[in-house]
Amino acid sequence: MSVAALATISALALTGCGGRGDSGNGSSSGAAAGFDKNATIGVALPQKTSENWVLAEGLFNTGLKDAGFKPEVQFANGGVTEQQNQISSMITNGAKVIIVGAIDGSQLSTQVKQAKDAGATIIAYDRNLKNTSDVDYYVAYDNFKVGELQGQALLDGMKAKKPNGPYNIEVFAGSNDDANSKPFFDGAMSVLKPKIDDGTVKIVSGQNTQNQAATAGWKAENAQKRMDTLLSGSYSSATLDGVLSPNDTLARAIINSVKQAGKPIPVVTGQDSEVESVKSIMAGEQYSTINKDTSNLVAAAIDMVKALQEGKTPETTSKDNNGTKDVPTKYLDPVIVTKANAAEAYKNNPTLEALTK
């Protein structure tokens, strides 16, 4: 890839979408004794459901090649079975490290065990691998903090529009097969629950659990259909003040539903800094998003690979419990973005910064 092409990808790099565990530096049995620098490195990515995954493909290919490795980057657009087969193929091809952005982190335990048995190191990327002891490291943005930022943004946005409550809201969650959906939702509800308990905030539909709020497959059409149902069932006369949306794709679907119903647009949160949502924020429609620069997340994963190649233990900042073990984790910090701070938040991203002018 040319320098110009790499610069374009880096400029477009937006976000990675991925609970939180005990803090503290962690080590792992996954630290290898080192391996050849030109080794094959497998990268198993999920379906192309958002811009950040598409960007990650190019960044992994370029970054791993520049570091002297042979990247094998695969998307599993056909679903979980395809991803299982792709990981098995990476094992057959002798991958020394396999980076896994799982479609469903609970359905890959057989494949990651096979990889470990073959001598590979497993790095969970953006989404932790669940209920397995065979994952060595995890690299992600702090997803519980993402939820906290979203919950606070929802409260701040509603207060800015209407200084005195109470406020009527609805809450959306991500897909239940994505391990990140729980920390997003739990983080947000940790901020919202005290306000719900004291009567400042009311979820009019009563749908206040993750299962009730889940959006299968992170699909926009599923979010829009549910929002249509909520509006017709609970807001014939009540005013909707805010909606907790876990990402930008769903946020835009929710806003479309409200527009089609002919109702005022409420405060709507998001995540991923997708181009269309940044445009929406600057236009005064979507209230907020989260900046999770994919280039930083990919770079952190590649840094782990470099350390392993040299026989070193990758740097970690925390631990994330996956149901079986505390996985040594490198957390990156997410940033809340509203119209007020968008120019500053995107000052190192020419494409997004241009949208804030």
Distance CA 333, CA 316 (A): 13
What are 211-222's pLDDT values in tens digits? Answer: 999 999 999 999
For 131-171, what is each residue's pLDDT tens digit? 899 999 999 999 999 999 999 999 999 999 999 999 999 99
Domain 143-291+339-345 indexed as CATH 3.30.1300.10:
no
80: its two tokens: 């979980």
**Strand residues in the chain grouped as ranges (E):** 40-45, 70-75, 97-100, 121-125, 137-141, 167-171, 201-203, 242-244, 267-268, 288-291, 318-321, 326-332, 335-338
Q: What burial class does residue 284 get, using C-beta atoms within 10 Å of its C-beta: 0-12 exposed, 13-18 middle, 19+ buried? A: exposed
Task: Return the DSSP state at 176.
Answer: T
Q: What is the pLDDT of residue 33?
A: 67
What whole-number distance in Å separates Cα of residue 222 and Cα of residue 17? 18
For residue 199 the two structure tokens come to 């009567």
Radius of gyration of the CA atoms of the chain, in A: 21
pTM of the model: 0.77
CATH topology of domain 3-141+293-332: Rossmann fold (3.40.50)
Identical fold between 3-141+293-332 and 143-291+339-345: yes
pLDDT value of position 242: 98
Encoding tokens for residue 32? 């290898």
Q: For the chain, first and last CA: distance in Å?
A: 30
> Residue ranges of the chain with pLDDT lower than 50?
1-32
Domain boundary assignment for the chain: 3-141+293-332, 143-291+339-345
Percentage, residues of the chain above pLDDT 90? 83
Q: What is the pLDDT of residues 64-105, one digit of tens each?
A: 999 999 999 999 998 999 999 999 999 999 999 999 999 999
pLDDT of residue 246: 98
